[in-house]
Amino acid sequence: MVDARKPAAAGVSYPAEREVLLERLHELLGDPAARDGHEPAAPARGLVVPHAMTGASGTVAAAGWRRIAASPAHVKRVVLLGPAHHVPFGGIAAPFADAFATPLGIVPVDRLAIESLRRFPQLAVNDLPHEQEPSLEAQLPFVHAVLEGVPVLPLIVGELGDDEAAEVLDAIWDDATLVVVSTDLSRYFDATSARKLDEETARAIEKLEAVGIREERACGHGALRALILVAKARKMHATRLALAHSGDRSGESDEVVGYGAFVFEEGPR
């Protein structure tokens, strides 16, 4: 019997009903049969996407996942990195679970990869940060739709040094691995301030400049900085796919949440 983590964000970050979820994915990603088959010049190695399928967040996240859908064949594993919203801790937490359950079925966890990372003292196998964490779970419907059957390596990034986080990521990021950082951008600023902050953050990501990306600019700032550090060391480049905020759909302007989608590819821009 598979030991699967139960969904905690279904009905909040994404629809809980299977048919409704499938309809939403079709709306966001389009019909796979209708895609033109044109593959990008370089395979995607990493993504930065927000962590919800609702509203503007879902539209922005889909911009990233459509990029993977255009060239999915090389991806044999997905490393999911995200922040701890509910359980503060130091280091990086991997789950004990063999799989994550979703309304669409089971997404397997790469247990062998987790065991290979246990040599790093900053990584612990700890279910507690994963139990109620939505950031990684919100990506699972996209994984299921775009990369069905591909295992995931879910890692929640807590408080630790950038070099320590980058060390773990660098050890597991091979040519068959897609790294996905699940993070929203600025949170609860007015719309004008949010656009300014998010544009600055987007430019920093495109320039692979990690230093200025802190909590006020991205809830998953630790995971995002680690991605940028490793990508820069490997001479990758980052491209903006979408940038928006929650008020673009809701009409709200007093307190909004920023969303961005970026793809990381090998070689110079």
Segment 22-32, tens digit of pLDDT: 999 999 998 65
Q: Is the pLDDT of residue 35 over 60?
A: no
Task: Quickly count: other Cβ atoms within 10 Å of residue 190's Cβ.
Answer: 13
Whole-number pLDDT of residue 180: 98
Q: Per-residue pLDDT tens for 90-117?
A: 999 999 999 999 999 999 999 999 999 9
Structural class in CATH, domain 42-266: alpha beta
- DSSP E strand stretches across the chain: 4-5, 44-49, 77-83, 92-94, 99-102, 105-108, 123-125, 152-157, 177-182, 187-189, 236-245, 256-266
Q: Which amino acid is at 36?
A: D
Q: What is the pLDDT of residue 41?
A: 64
Integer Cα distance of 161 and 91 in angstroms: 8
Summarised one tens digit per residue, pLDDT across range 217-231 is 999 999 999 999 999
Strand order in the sheet with 99-102: 4-5, 99-102, 105-108
Question: Over 60: is that where the pLDDT of 240 sits?
Answer: yes
Q: Is the pTM of this model over 0.85?
A: yes
**Residue for token pair 């065991």:** 115
Share of the chain above pLDDT 90, in %: 87
Instruction: Output the pLDDT for position 12.
Output: 94
The stretch 43-67 carries a mean pLDDT of: 95
Q: Which pLDDT belongs to residue 137?
A: 97
Query: With bands split at pLDDT 50, 70 and 90, how would you rate the model's confidence at 40?
Result: low
Whether 136 shows a pLDDT value over 70: the answer reads: yes
CA distance from start to end of the chain = 47
Do residues 83 and 220 lie in contact, with contact meaning Cβ atoms separated by under 8 Å? yes
In this prediction, residue 32 carries a pLDDT of 59
pLDDT of residue 38: 56
Instruction: Give the bridge partners for 106, in sequence order.
Output: 101
What confidence tier does 1 reach under pLDDT thresholds 50, 70, 90? low
The most confident of the ranges 1-15, 40-54, 191-205 is 191-205
Residue 122 · residue 48 · CB < 8 Å: no
pLDDT of residue 31: 65
Give 3-state DSSP helix, strand, coil % of the chain, rounded to 5. 35, 25, 40
The two structure tokens encoding residue 149: 């059957």
Domain boundaries along the sequence of the chain: 42-266
Q: What is the mean pLDDT of the chain?
A: 94
Is it the case that residue 37 has pLDDT exceeding 60?
no
Percent of the chain residues past pLDDT 70, beyond the cut: 96
